[in-house]
């Protein structure tokens, strides 16, 4: 833990003031397709956000934030596909990962809040005690950072995001605007359709339907999270839930 603090000191350039309060930053950018879910057009600094469901949405949040120059720390997610994040526009030079944080990932996330704009924490099914969550939430607010928790329960979360796969784009075309056959068992999966729902205290629940569309191969491959565009979609099959 001490070594982690020293590394953060080097990154921040403020070795003697790791806990100094940073000036308020604009909202953390999110994909344009998700902006309607957030009053500020992005995730407000100083917030704890829960993000569960289809991993593509979490990856898109990481991509948008790092692509805009924000520093991201990811804790306890050894199987997170950073290649997918890059395809969505992530800047790996702005991302630090601690895939195996040991017995206390919450403490590791707490340290990262000193030097990162956004910390993504996988709780691995755990429930954080209300007293501890309150302390960490206060730290997030003081640092004007953003903590995104997934895979567990964090008491007092202000905003919860849930993403559900509702269908797959069946396309024989490799272009984002191409249309396929729309018939099950033919062509290739060129993307998926998701319903993303946000619940924020003091506001009505809101949802948007978006599509994750892939086009191209190799270095030219692009992945875009966009507003639903009327592509032919095959209903999601419960047997194929592994795709979620």
Query: How would you write the chain as a 3-class SS string?
Result: CHHHHHHHHHHHCCCCCCCCCCCCCCCEECCHHHHHHCCCCEECCCEEEEEEECHHHHHHHHHHHHHCCCCEEEECCCCCCHHHHHHCCCCHHHEEEECCCCCCHHHHHHHHCCCCCEEEEECCCCECCHHHHHHHHHHHHHHCCEEEEECCECCCCCEEEEEEEEEEEEECCCCCCCCCCCCCCCCEEEEEEEEEEEEECCCCCEEEEEEEEEECCHHHCEEEEEECCCCCEEECCHHHHHHC
Both 86 and 37 in one domain: the answer is: yes
Residues 36 and 105 in one domain: yes
Check residue 49 and give its pLDDT. 96
Single out the residue of 206, 161, 211, 200 nearest to residue 52, CA to CA.
161
65 shares a domain with 85:
yes
108 vs 240, higher pLDDT: 108
Lowest mean per-residue pLDDT among 1-10, 124-133, 188-197: 1-10
Which of 110, 127, 159 terminates a domain? The answer is 159
pLDDT of residue 137: 95
How far apart, in Å, are the Cα atoms of 90 and each of 17, 23, 211? Answer: 29, 24, 18
- Rounded CA-CA distance 126/50 in Å is 13
pLDDT at 35 (0 to 100) = 92
140 and 45 housed in the same domain: yes
What pLDDT, on a 0 to 100 scale, did the predictor assign at position 91?
Answer: 96
User: 22: pLDDT confidence band, cut at 50, 70 and 90?
Assistant: very low
Out of 49-63, 149-163, 174-188, 222-236, least confident range: 174-188
Does residue 174 carry a pLDDT above 60? Answer: no
Q: Is the pLDDT of residue 7 over 70?
A: no
Confidence of residue 226 (pLDDT cuts 50, 70, 90): confident
Q: Is the same domain home to 44 and 144?
A: yes
Name the β-bridge partners of 189: 170
Domain-ending residue, one of 116, 143, 159 = 159
Q: Which positions ≥6 away from 226 have C-beta within 8 Å?
A: 32, 33, 176, 210, 211, 213
pLDDT at 67 over 80: yes
Domain holding 85: CATH number? Answer: 3.40.50.300
The highest-confidence range among 22-31, 51-60, 213-222, by mean pLDDT, is 51-60
Domain identity same for 145 and 180 = no
- Per-residue pLDDT at 9 exceeds 70: no
Q: Is residue 102 part of a domain?
A: yes
The domain in which residue 195 lies consists of 161-237
pLDDT band of 181, cuts 50, 70, 90: very low
Q: Which residue has the higher pLDDT, 43 or 5?
A: 43
Q: Quick one: pLDDT at residue 169?
A: 73
Confidence of residue 65 (pLDDT cuts 50, 70, 90): very high
Q: Which residues of 160-179 are buried (b: 16+ CB within 10 A; e: fewer)?
A: bbbbbbbbbbbbebeebeeb
Total domains in the chain come to 2
Residue 203: predicted pLDDT: 79
Average pLDDT over the chain, rounded to an integer: 81
In this prediction, residues 13-25 reach a mean pLDDT of: 45
Residue 12's pLDDT is 52
Q: Are residues 139 and 168 in the same domain?
A: no
Question: Is residue 109 pLDDT above 50, yes or no?
Answer: yes
Q: Given 159, 175, 195, which residue is the final one in a domain?
A: 159
Residue 3 has pLDDT above 90, yes or no: no
Considering the domain architecture, whether residues 70 and 149 belong to the same structural domain is answered as: yes
The mean per-residue pLDDT over the stretch 160-177 comes to 72
């Amino acid at each position: 833990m001490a070594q982690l603090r020293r590394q953060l000191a080097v990154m921040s350039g403020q070795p003697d003031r790791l806990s100094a309060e940073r000036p308020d930053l604009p909202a953390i950018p999110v994909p344009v397709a998700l902006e309607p879910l957030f009053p500020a057009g992005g995730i407000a600094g100083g917030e704890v956000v829960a993000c569960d469901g289809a991993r593509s949405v979490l990856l898109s949040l990481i991509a948008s934030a790092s692509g805009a120059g924000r520093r991201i720390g990811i804790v306890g997610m050894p199987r997170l596909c950073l290649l997918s994040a890059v395809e969505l526009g992530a800047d790996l030079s702005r991302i630090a990962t601690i895939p195996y944080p040991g017995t206390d990932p919450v403490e590791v996330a707490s340290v990262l809040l000193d030097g990162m704009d956004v910390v993504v924490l996988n709780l691995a099914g755990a429930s954080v005690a209300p007293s501890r969550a309150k302390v960490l939430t206060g730290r997030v607010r003081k640092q004007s950072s953003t903590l995104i928790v997934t895979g567990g329960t964090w008491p007092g979360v202000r905003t919860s995001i849930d993403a559900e796969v509702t269908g797959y784009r069946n396309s024989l075309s490799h272009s984002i605007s191409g249309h396929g056959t729309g018939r099950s068992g033919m062509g290739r999966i060129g993307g998926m359709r998701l319903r993303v729902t946000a619940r924020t205290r003091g506001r009505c629940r809101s949802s948007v339907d978006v599509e994750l569309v892939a086009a191209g191969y190799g270095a030219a491959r692009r992945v875009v999270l966009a507003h639903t565009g009327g592509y032919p979609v095959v209903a999601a099959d419960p047997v194929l839930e592994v795709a979620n």
